[in-house]
Structures are given as C-alpha cells and as structure tokens.
Amino acid sequence: MPRRRARIPAAVLLIAPSLVVMTALFAWPLVVGVGQAFSGPDGPTLAYARRMLDDPYFWPAVRNTALLIVVLIPVQFAFALTMALLLRERPRFAGFHFYVWVIPLAISDLAAGLVWLSVFADRGYLNSVLDHLGVDGVAWLSYQNTATMFLAVVVAELWRSTSLVLVIVVAGLQGIPKDYDEAAAVFGATYRQRLRHVVLPQLRPSLQVALILRTILALETFAVAQALTGRSLPLLVGETYQWYNVLQNPNVATAIALVVLAVSMLAAAGYLRLLRDRTVTQ
Amino acid sequence: MSARRRWERAAIQAACVAITLFMGVPLYLIALAALSSRDSLNQFPLPLLPTDPSTETMSTFLQSTGVTGGFINSLTVGLGTVVLALLVGVPAGYAVARYAFRGKDTYQLILLLTRALPIVVLSVPLARIFLDTGLYDTTYAVMLLHTALALPTTVLITAAIFVGVSHEQEEAAMIFGASPLQAFLRVVAPQALPGIAAAAMFAFMLSWNEVLGATVLTLNQRTLPAQVLTTLADSPLAYRFAGGLALVLPALVFIAVMRRYLLNMWGTTLR
Amino acid sequence: MSAVTVHNLVKTYASGGKRATDDVSLEVADGEFLVLVGPSGCGKTTLLRMVAGLETPDSGTVSIGGRDVTDLPARQRGLSMVFQSYAIFPHMKVRQNIGFGLMMRKVPKEEFDRRVKRAAELLQLGEFLDRYPAQLSGGQRQRVAVARAIVVDAAVLLMDEPLSNLDALLRLQFRAELKRIVSQIGTTTLYVTHDQAEAMSLGDRVAVMRDGKVAQIGAPLEVYDRPADRFVGGFLGSPPMNFLTATVRDGSLVIGDVSLPAPDLLSTWEGHEVVVGVRAENIQVSEEPAPGWVPAQVEVVEPTGAALLLTARLGEAQLKIQAPATFPAGPDQQVHLRPAPKALRFYDPSTGLALAVDQGLGGRVGRRVTP
C-alpha cells in the first residue's frame, strides 16, 4: 500500500480565524456580561437585578417595548405584503417605486429618528402643513402626549424597517413559480382565493424568517425613540444606554441587556416552535 | 381592457404613488430642513418648498465640535471593518461553499444565531474587556465590534458568491497546471469580485449606521452617529436636521449602487 | 509512452458507504481511445477523476507512462481534460481560455499565439478568439473546452461526458468531429459517457461499468455482439438485447410451445432452464408460417424510417424485432419469427453470466458451463 498524502483539513484552516473572532467577540463578552450582571465586589449577587426591577423606568420600558412590537409588527407585515403584491402587478415605474421603497434599508435608526423629527417637531413640517390648512398644531412629541409620541415612533419605525420585510417577501414571491398561480387561475380561483391558498402558503418560509428577524430587531429599537422623544418614551435598550452612559452603571446596564437577550431568544425559539407545529398538523 | 380592469390598474398605480410619497417625502423634508438657513428654520409655518436654500445649517453642523473627527472616525472604522471582515470572512465563506467538513451545519447555525444577538448584549461587556486591554475609546475597539457584527453576513454572502462559481472551473485550472492558490486568484477571485465588493459595501454600511456599540465603546473617539447621539439632547434642531441628512446621504448612494444585489442579499442569502 | 494503468482502485464516499469504484483495474494503451460507459452512479466519473487527480483513491494506484502518479496533484500529472459543464472561464476571452494551460506553463508569446491559433482553427474558432464565452453558443463553448484541452499536447486526454450538454443534432455532428480530431492528434484518451451509442461510435475499446466494477471491456462490436452478461446486453444497443427463458430438452431449446435446435454447448444443461439473448436485428420476420418459424403476436409498430421496430409477444415474453421498413405489419397481427441460430447467446439464469461463446474470440468467456 502506497502512503497517502496527509489530508490537510483546508476547511478547518479557512474557518479558524472566523471562529477565533466570534469566540473573542461574541462568546467571551456574553460570559463577561453574565458576570457583570450577577456578581458584585462580594461574589454573586442579585442586587443589580433588583435595582433594575425597582427602577421606575424599567416597567414602562418593558411595557412600551412590548406594545411597540405588538402594534408595529402586524401593521408592518400587512404594509410589506401590500407593497410586494402591488409590485407583482407590474405597475408603471415599478423600478423607481421599488428603489424608493427600499432606501430605508440602509438608513440607521438614529437617522430615521432625525428624519421624522423634522416632521413631528413642534415647529416641524406636520404642524406647518396643519397650519397651512388652518388647523391647530399638536405637540406630537410632548411627554404629556404619550399616545402621539408612541404613534410617532411607530410611524418612524414603520417607515424605516418595513423595507427589510419587503425585500424578503419580494424575493420569496420571485421564488414561487408562476405556474401555480396560473394553474389556480385556470381552475377558476379568484384573486383572493389564489392569495389565500396559493401565494401565502408558499410565502410562509420567507414570512417566518422575516417575522423572527423583525421581532428581534424591534426589541432593539432605541435610537429612533431617543431622537424623537429623548427618555420620555423609555424602551428597554434605551434604558441600557441610560444606565451605561448617563448613570455610569455597567452592571445594571448589562442586566437589562440580558433581559433583551433572553426575550430575543425566547421569541426566536417560540416562533420556530409555533411554525413547526403548524407544519406538522397541516 | 374592461372598465373594471382599467379601474383596478388605476387603483394600483395610485397606491404605488401614495406609498412612494410616504417613503420619499420625509427624505425630501430632511433635505429641505438641512439645506435651509437658520432664519427660515425659525419661521412658522415652515416653507414646504426650497424658497431659501442655504448651506448655513450644514456648514454650522460640520464645524461643530467633534463632527469632523466623527466623520474621520466613522470612515476609519468603516474601512477597517471592511478589511477585517473580508480578511476573516472570505476564507470562511469559501470553506462553507466548497468543503464538506464535520460541524459545518453547526457552524452555519452559529452564524445565523449570532445575527440574533442584540448588539447591546455585546457592547457593555466588551467595554469592560476593552478597558482591561487598553483598547477602550479607540477606533480599533469599534472596528472589532463592527467586524464581529459584520462577520456572519460576510461569510454568508461570500459563501453564496463562491457557490455561484462552479467548482469544475477551479478543477479545470488545476488540470491545466495551476496550483490551488493560482486557481483561486486567476479563476475564482475575478468572478467573485463584484459580489465581494457588495459584501464590503454591506459591511461598511453596517458600520456607518451602528450607533449603540460605538457610543458605549468610546468617549472621545466617537464615530459620527455616536457623536450625534450623545450631543442630541443639548443641540438645536438645526444641528439635528443637518446630522440627519449627513447620516442619510450615504444610504441613498449605497442603495443606488447595490440595487442589483438587494434582493439576493437581504431577500435570500441573509434571511 | 503514455499508457494509463489503473490498478485495484478503490474509492468509497463518506456518504452511503458504498464503493464508488470497487477494485477496478484497467489499462489504456498508448494512443488508444478507451470509453468508460455505464448507467449513472456506476463509478465511471469517479474513476476518471481519480486518474485526473481530482479525487484521491482509498487504495490502489494510477500510473501514467509507467510513472506512479497516485500521490501527485492534478497539475503535475501531465494530462488535460474536457469537463461536462465545459468549465471554461467566463471572465476570460476565448484566446485566454484556450491558452490557459500554455500560460500556466509560461510558454513564450510567439509560441503561445501560434499554438492557440492552430487549435482554434482545428475547432473552427478562429474568428471568435476575441470574444467572451457569454457571446458564444453552447456548441462553440464546447469547442473552446476541447481546444483548451488539445492545445497543451498533454500525454493523456480525459473527457467527462463532453457531449451531454449539446442538443441531439449537434451532438451527432460533434461526435464525428471529435473522433477525427482525436485520431489526428493520437493522444491516449479516456472518455466517460452514459450514452451507449456514443461509446460504440467513438471508442477503440469500450469498458462497460456497473456498480463500481468493469462488467466487460473490449472492442465495441465484440462487446455488442457478445455481451459477457445480461446487464451488458441490456445496456448496449438500442433497442436492448431480447432475453427469453428457455428449457433445454432432448437437445432442443423449448420456449413455450415451440422448440428450436439447441447448440452443442448446451448439452450439459439438459433439463435445465437457460436465458437466451438475441438482438432485434437478428430475428427474421415473415407474414407466412413456415417450418421452424415461431408464431408471435404484434403489439406495437414503430417506424423509424430506416426500419420498422416491432414489439411482439411470444408466449410470456415480449420481443423487439427490427423488420424491414416495408414490412406490412399492424397491431394484433400474427407474424412468424426465426432467430438467426448463430446470433443466439446463452446466459446462466441465476448469475446472468454468458455460458460460453462458440468461437474462441476474446472477451470474457462464460466461466460456468455446467449448471
């Protein structure tokens, strides 16, 4: 038997640097973070967690974040689906419309907040338009008007983050062979029936991914609210920022961050579970 | 075309225009605000047409403390992130595309999972780590964080690109006398280059837009968004509008350049 | 000297655990054109790729021109190859594509130009040298792949299903051209295909592979005429060889109600079943009954232009018969058949192997003459 060349595990050599980077910058900080949140100068402690829970801003932040997700996500998905289905009808200037609709993909949440600040500010464009129309302006972003403040954040987020759902849905639609839709039409299905029984079921994998991604990202909403409202509409990640940058307490900041992480993971796991169950029962 | 069909077409066109207005008008407004003089910004109601264009607001913003430095830092961090993410990510993407190795599925799962890690969870502990290692408040610190954030997407995008260059081409190059490295450089790299450029732009954009981590990891070496965020509360509206436009402009260029890749990258590869 | 010798090659892929090539040995003589043919998954491509150095065998050796190259990377084996997908480089012009091997060998400029030009002319690509592959048709891309392979004057030329991506007409055309070019340059050639007609028409010899082993190797007509087992008979030829079960009784072959004289070699099979193989063109057909002719029922009639392909039922068995194009036959008609006695082949029903050949030609002789 002749000797074989030693198999150089080229693949291992190639992925090794990325493993090093991810261990150093993902795994290691996670471990340090848990340490920061749960150990004080005298060993393990729940003091930081308690301090987080006792903070008057914490529960409103939880409530606002949850409310934002519950309101934003369904509206956003309906909006994105509408946009995608409109494009599917090949309107005139579809290319231009699509370009404008996806611009926000590359716009940061801070920039989006500042863009909408020009609209919602007391002396901003929305009130200017209302004034032109002879209607009294509204103090949209005043801390006394929680509802309008929340609305402003939802609109800004809708504007900024729907494009992500849109590209996922459009790509998903492109992956559905036209034959199915045409076959259904030949057999007499109406537009609504085709949507319900042909298009949406095949779009489901795309929608699932978009849903998980968007939920996790919505949990991290922060700079939009910061730019529009400061701390008047507290959100979870905004509180981390406050505790770290303003109150200079990294331990409590990490504790809140871990809450965000836990909820993110729960959301991802929950969705996957839910969707898998549905696949099985179908 | 039946009357009903014609009505439908008109409704579709109208809906598209309405959505385009919703998406486009705010961009027009921020540009209008940032390109107005300070005086016209103090008027009420604000003029809705560019009656008095002026660079006053923008130039005041650019001359504010920390803004020029922020620009330079943002560029440094962005370019550094691109270089690091490509150096580490391209080989890994190649491995994922070409080799079957044990743990490949796990590796890909980890890549996807890390994308679900909130930045905030990494930033605060990283600040601790960087304080200990002397990297805190340097552009390198932000660069490392952004590299980590951009890495999974870089690997996924480049893997998709390398899958698109058939392995038989590399084999053909080797049959005709090329070493594996020569085959990669002469045959694969030229074909993958546009896609790799797209991945690079993606990494740059991610870095340009990232606020929270950059704010947490620096005190003086702020990137532009971090600078704008931390001075937000104490700045006049004009400053914020100018900052908004400065942050939005690269996005317009980016999307215009990347149109071809948008659906493939966000829509398919990265979902 | 550039004979290729493959010795006891074994290759198992991690997935499945089945051997892709199972202890294969064969030799391609210097200047010979050998075709590896077989159904998909038979190991022919794996074998070719191991010769090329693109796949490492688990055990066994590959030698080229007497030199053991088993451990050499592809680029040091001095061979060239045409790939199934052509694998020409889309970012290079035709000139650079054809000259890629020369460039790697750092051939001087004038010689590079001269050789690329000659190869391009041989394949009628002269006017396309400055185009990109995307501007060429599929057939032209195929020509580029072949030109790139022959320009390097390698000692061994490997081809992996080079015609399978062409449409039927082009494939037929290019097949003949390929045969002419290869015989002109006289390189040792190993050619893989799943198309039996291609194998028959191109090879000096063909090796029929099945399940990782070589089932039979020999000159095309010999393998066609005397398949070493039922698989080879069924795989080569269109339509495939007919197989009927018969019993040897009192020196006759009994098929259903009819009996034919049995050849001497079946004397030891008296009272046993054998499988009779006969090609469609070796069965005579007539409308009139005659002594020694067997009645059969026509089921399907397929005119092919040059001939008439009949599907007929004979007792339990279905037969394909090639009749003259003018033969007046319709469905459900009774016809009478007579196989040419010298064209009958006999197979062991349990092993499928040929029992014997009545003339001492090469190929594999049935190893088991007694039941």
**Cβ atoms of residues B148 and A26 within 8 Å:** yes
CATH code assigned to C235-347 = 2.40.50.140
C90 touches chain B (CB under 8 A): yes
Task: Measure the CA–CA gap between C189 and C177, rounded to whole angstroms.
Answer: 15
DSSP string, chain B: --HHHHHHHHHHHHHHHHHHHHHHHHHHHHHHHHTB-HHHHHSSSPPSS-SSB-SHHHHHHHHSTTHHHHHHHHHHHHHHHHHHHHHHHHHHHHHHHH---TTHHHHHHHHHHHHTS-HHHHHHHHHHHHHHHT-TTSHHHHHHHHHHHHHHHHHHHHHHHHHTS-HHHHHHHHHTT--HHHHIIIIIHHHHHHHHHHHHHHHHHHHHH--HHHHHH-SSS--HHHHHHHHGGGS-HHHHHHHHHHHHHHHHHHHHHHHHHHIIIIIIIT-
The larger pLDDT score, comparing residue C2 to residue C28, is at C28
Beta bridge partners of C6: C26, C62
User: pLDDT class for A39, splitting at 50, 70, 90?
Assistant: confident
Residue A1 has pLDDT above 50, yes or no: no
Of C79, C81, C90, the CB nearest to B172: C81
Q: Report strand pairing: C205-210 vs C213-218.
A: antiparallel
Kindly list the domain boundaries of chain B, sorted by start residue: 1-63, 65-269
Contact at CB, A3 and C59, closer than 8 angstroms:
no
C327 lies within 8 A of chain B by CB:
no
> What subunits touch chain C, counting only 3 or more CB pairs under 8 A?
A, B
Asked whether the beta carbons of residue A220 and residue B118 sit closer than 8 angstroms, the reply is yes
| Residues of B with Cβ-Cβ distance to C85 under 8 angstroms | 166, 168
Structure-block tokens of residue B266: 């966000």
Residue C358 pLDDT level (bands cut at 50, 70, 90): very low
Distance CA B245, CA B60 (A): 13
Task: Supply the DSSP symbol for A140.
Answer: T
The pTM (predicted TM-score) of the whole model is 0.83
Q: Which residue has the higher pLDDT, B185 or C259?
A: B185
Alpha-carbon Rg for chain A in angstroms: 24
Confidence (pLDDT) at A275: 59
Contact status, residue C196 vs residue C235, Cβ threshold 8 Å = yes
Q: CA angle, C49 as apex, C43 and C55 as ends, to 5°?
A: 100
Q: Which residues of B touch C79 (CB under 8 A)?
A: 175
Q: What are phi and psi for residue C260, nearest 5 degrees?
A: -125, 155
Which partners does chain A have (≥3 C-beta pairs < 8 Å)?
A: B, C
Comparing CA positions, the residue from A236, A228, A233 lying closest to residue A112 is A228
C61 to chain A, any CB pair closer than 8 A? The answer is: yes
B250-269 residue pLDDT tens: 988 888 888 777 777 666 66
Mutate to test the interface with B, among A5, A19, A25 (most CBs of B within 10 A): A25
- Residue from C197, C192, C232 nearest C354 by CA: C232
**What CATH number belongs to A45-281?**
1.10.3720.10
Q: Give residue limits of the domains in chain A.
A: 45-281
Tokens of C315: 């007792």
Specify the higher pLDDT residue, C261 or C248: C248
Residues in chain A within 8 Å Cβ distance of B101: 9, 11-12, 15
Q: What angle do CA A75, A78, A81 make, to 5 degrees?
A: 145
pLDDT above 50 for C359? no
Q: Give the Cα separation of B118 and B126 in Å (integer).
A: 13
Any A CB within 8 A of B243 CB:
yes
Residue-wise pLDDT tens digits, C137-171: 989 999 999 999 999 999 999 999 999 888 888 89
C71 contacts chain A (CB < 8 A): yes
Nearest CA in chain C to B102: C14
Q: C290 — contact with chain B (CB < 8 Å)?
A: no
CB contact under 8 A, A103 and B12: no
pLDDT band at residue C368, thresholds of 50, 70 and 90?
Answer: very low
CA distance C55 to chain A (A): 12
Helix (H, G, I), strand (E, B) or coil at C39: coil
Q: Which pLDDT band holds residue C367 (cuts at 50, 70, 90)? A: very low
pLDDT at residue A274, rounded to an integer: 65
Q: Tell me, what amino acid is at A146?
A: T
Q: Do A1 and C59 touch (CB under 8 A)?
A: yes
The answer on pLDDT for C362 being more than 50 is: no
**What class, spelled out in words, does domain B65-269 have in CATH?**
mainly alpha
Task: From residue C265, give the alpha-carbon distance in Å to each of C225, C255, C260, C369.
Answer: 18, 18, 14, 8
Would you call A90 an interface residue with chain C, using a CB distance cutoff of 8 Å?
Answer: no
Residues from chain B that touch A127, judged by Cβ atoms under 8 A, are: 44-45
3-state secondary structure of A19: helix
- What distance in Å separates the CA atoms of residue A198 and residue A190, rounded to the nearest whole number? 11
Distance CA B235, CA B228 (A): 9
Question: In this complex, is the C-beta atom of B248 within 8 Å of any C-beta atom belonging to chain A?
Answer: yes
On whether any CB of chain B is under 8 Å from the CB of C88, the answer is: yes
- C209 - beta bridge partners? C214
| Contacts across the B-C interface (CB distance below 8 Å) | 59
Q: Highest mean pLDDT: which of A180-189, A245-254, B25-34, B160-169?
A: B25-34
Q: For residue C292, is pLDDT > 90? A: no
For chain B, positions 158-187, list CB contacts with chain A under 8 A: none
Contact yes or no for B172 and C88 at CB 8 A: yes
Give chain C positions within 8 Å (CB) of A3: 71
CB nearest to B124's CB, from A17, A116, A253: A253
The mean predicted confidence, pLDDT, of chain C is: 89
Question: How far is B91 from chain A, CA to nearest CA, in Å?
Answer: 5
* Record: contact B118-A124, CB cut-off 8 A: no
Of B89, B129, B209, the CB nearest to A108: B209
Is C8 near chain A, with CB under 8 Å? no
Per DSSP, C26 falls in state: E
pLDDT of residue A152: 95
> Which of B172, B187, B191 is nearest residue C83 as measured by Cβ atoms?
B172
Q: What is the nearest CA distance from B16 to chain A, expressed in angstroms?
A: 7
B109 touches A at CB < 8 Å: no
Q: Cα A162 vs. chain centroid, distance in angstroms?
A: 9
Q: Judge: C56–A2 Cβ closer than 8 Å, yes or no.
A: no
- Partner-chain contact A2 C71, CB within 8 Å: yes
Using CB atoms, pick whichever of A13, A36, A108 lies closest to residue B211. Answer: A108
Which contiguous run of DSSP H or E holds residue A38? helix A28-38
Task: Give contacts of B46 with chain A, Cβ < 8 Å.
Answer: 123-125, 128
Beta-sheet pairing, C59-64 with C19-28? unpaired
Per residue of chain B (271 residues), what is the pLDDT tens digit? 688 888 989 999 999 999 999 999 999 999 999 998 888 888 888 888 888 788 888 998 988 888 999 999 999 999 999 999 999 999 999 999 998 888 888 888 888 778 778 888 889 999 999 999 999 999 999 999 999 999 998 998 899 889 988 899 999 999 999 998 999 999 999 999 988 998 999 899 999 999 999 999 999 999 999 999 999 888 888 999 999 999 999 988 888 888 777 777 666 666 5
Residue from B38, B46, B90, B227 whose CB has the most chain A CBs within 10 Å, to mutate: B46
pLDDT at C370 over 80: no
Instruction: Look up the CATH number of domain C4-227.
Output: 3.40.50.300
C4-12/C19-28 β-pairing: antiparallel
* Spans of all domains in chain C: 4-227, 235-347
Between the alpha carbon of residue C28 and those of residues C11, C62, C113, C236, the distances in Å are 20, 11, 32, 21
| Cα nearest neighbour of C98 on chain B | B176
Residue of A nearest to C69 (CA): A2
- C270 interface with A at CB cutoff 8 Å: no
Inform me whether the pLDDT recorded for C299 exceeds 90.
yes
Residue A281 confidence class, pLDDT cut points 50, 70, 90: very low
- Phi/psi region, residue C106 (left: phi>0; alpha: psi -120 to 50; beta: rest), is left
State whether residue C14 sits within 8 Å of chain B by CB.
yes
Looking at the predicted structure, is the pLDDT value of residue C369 above 50? Answer: no
Q: Which residue of C has its CA nearest to A5?
A: C71
Q: Which of B176, B182, B190 lies at the smallest CB-CB distance from C91? A: B190
Closest by CA position to B35, among listed B246, B250, B268, B260: B246
Q: Give me the count of residues in chain A.
A: 282
As a whole number of Å, the end-to-end CA separation of chain C is: 45
pLDDT at C204 over 80: yes
C100 and B176: CB-CB below 8 Å?
Answer: yes
Q: Does A187 score more than 80 pLDDT?
A: yes
Q: Which residues on chain C are in Cβ contact (under 8 Å) with B175?
A: 52-54, 74-75, 79-81, 158
**Number of residues that make up chain C:** 371
Mutate to test the interface with A, among C70, C72, C76 (most CBs of A within 10 A): C70
Q: Say yes or no for a CB contact (<8 Å) between A117 and B268.
A: no
Surface of B (25-44) touching A: CB under 8 A: 26-27, 29-30, 33, 44
B161 CB neighbours in chain C (<8 A) are none
Residue C25 in 3-state DSSP? strand
Residue C360, judged by CB atoms within 10 A of its CB (0-12, 13-18, 19+), counts as exposed
